[in-house]
Amino acid sequence: MEKQEANKKGAIQPMPKVLVSCRGLDGEDNALVVGYCGNCSYAPPMVMIGIVPTRYSYDMIKKSGCFVVNIVDKRYKETFDFLGKYSKRDCNKLADMKVNLEDGKVVNAPILSDCPVNIECTVVDSIMTGSHEMFIGKVEYVHADSNLVDEEGNIDFTKIAFI
Ligand SMILES: Cc1cc2nc3c(=O)[nH]c(=O)nc-3n(C[C@H](O)[C@H](O)[C@H](O)COP(=O)(O)O)c2cc1C
């Protein structure tokens, strides 16, 4: 295999496609598309999400200290695209897309009911990496569609039709 130098940006692919939901201190809910995210500790279980400080959601996560990572499947594509295109600054996007919400079980942020997996997280640290601030979230509770979970609680991710 012959190699040549390629661009550095977004070098790890495929990029995950998740929706992060959050709640401001005034009780306002929001959600945005996040591609800069991943697992970052096995024990204890931790995930990280990268949020650009100009996002409307940024202050909400920074101040509330929690967020929910919602794994999305193809049935949610239209909503996913909308939430990644429009800011809460410009429209009430959750209401516009009739997004079904429930309160988190542990953290004070909404979960997106129609997503098959919702991961509730508490922010334990953050680092400004450059364009994004990486929020490290301790995984507090994972909600998963019962059709996906085996007797030991493991999620069969092969059953999710990822976007
Ligand atoms: C495929 C895709 C990936 C994205 N990844 C990120 C990301 O990792 N971090 C981020 O801050 N914004 C990301 N965005 C942009 C936000 O989702 C978008 O700017 C959104 O409108 C912000 O909403 P808000 O201002 O209501 O928080 C991504 C958008 C798309 C379409």
Q: According to the model, what pLDDT value does residue 138 have?
A: 98
Query: Which pTM value belongs to this model?
Result: 0.98
76 part of a folded domain? yes
Q: Look up the CATH number of the domain holding residue 100.
A: 2.30.110.10
- 33 Cβ inside 6 Å of ligand 1: yes
Cα separation, 68 vs 64, in Å, equals 12
159 part of a folded domain? no
Both tokens assigned to 111: 């979960």
Cα separation, 63 vs 30, in Å, equals 14
Structural domain range at position 22:
18-150
The secondary structure of residue 155, as a DSSP letter, is B
- 108 Cβ inside 6 Å of ligand 1: no
Listed as ranges, residues in the chain with pLDDT below 50 are none
- Split into its structural domains, the chain has a count of 1
Q: According to the model, what pLDDT value does residue 127 have?
A: 98
Determine the residue of 9, 28, 36, 55 to mutate for testing ligand 1's pocket, defined as the one with the most ligand atoms within 8 A of the Cβ atom: 55
Q: According to the model, what pLDDT value does residue 59 have?
A: 98
44 part of a folded domain? yes
CA 138 to the chain's CA centroid? 13
Give the atom of ligand 1 at the shortest distance from the alpha carbon of 52. 11
- 21 Cβ inside 6 Å of ligand 1: no
